[in-house]
Amino acid sequence: MSHAITEPQIENLALGQLPTYESILVQRHIYNCPDCLKKLIEITFIQELQGLGPEPLCVPTTRKPLSFVHDTADGFILSKVERRGRKWIGRHWGDQLEGMRECASIREANEYVIASFQEMFPEHRCTERCRMTR
């Protein structure tokens, strides 16, 4: 690879084994480099097949609304599920992001915030600055 980051750095990012500072630098590079993003996706796919992927920060549940923050290359992104009358709202917001979706159930809203975050930030791997909130 003729890039500022190495393949071992991408592998360690995929495993969630980089320190926060290095993780964010690699994520920023990957965000702007289609070749490295493709490599991260390939590595992640192989790791998942081998059962080596990082533990997810959270998984959908039907019992409690999710609320979490991720430290991404675009800054902190907050995600939250909250009840509004008979509906549930799944929201994401940050310095350059504001979005939400109305859902019929808590499970649907929880699944939405997880899936949509992963779609918006496929290069993201959690660091110790990513956390569940309340």
Q: What is the pTM of this model?
A: 0.64
Whether 71 and 45 map to the same domain: the answer is: no
- 22-41: average pLDDT: 90
* pLDDT number for residue 129: 82
Tens digit of pLDDT for each residue in 37-92?
Answer: 999 888 888 887 887 766 666 666 668 999 999 988 888 999 999 999 999 999 99
Q: Can you give the residue range of the structural domain that contains 14?
A: 7-49
> Is the residue at 32 inside a domain?
yes
Whether 72 and 108 map to the same domain: the answer is: yes
Short-list 51, 47, 53, CA closest to 16: 53
Q: How far is CA 134 from the centre of its chain?
A: 18
CA dist., res. 89 & res. 46, Å (int): 34
Bridge partners, residue 99, by sequence: 92
Question: In which residue are the tokens 């499970």 written?
Answer: 107
* pLDDT number for residue 61: 65
Q: Which amino acid is at 44?
A: T
Whether 126 and 72 map to the same domain: the answer is: yes
Q: Nearest 5 degrees, angle CA 66-CA 108-CA 119?
A: 75
> Is the residue at 62 inside a domain?
no
The encoded tokens of residue 84 equal 């509004």
Phi, psi of 52 (to 5 degrees): -105, 0
* pLDDT number for residue 1: 43
Q: Look at 25-29, 40-44, 80-84, 121-125 and tell me which has the smallest mean pLDDT.
A: 121-125
The encoded tokens of residue 114 equal 């997880």
Residues 6+ apart with CB under 8 A from 86: none
- Which H helix or E strand runs over 43? helix 34-49
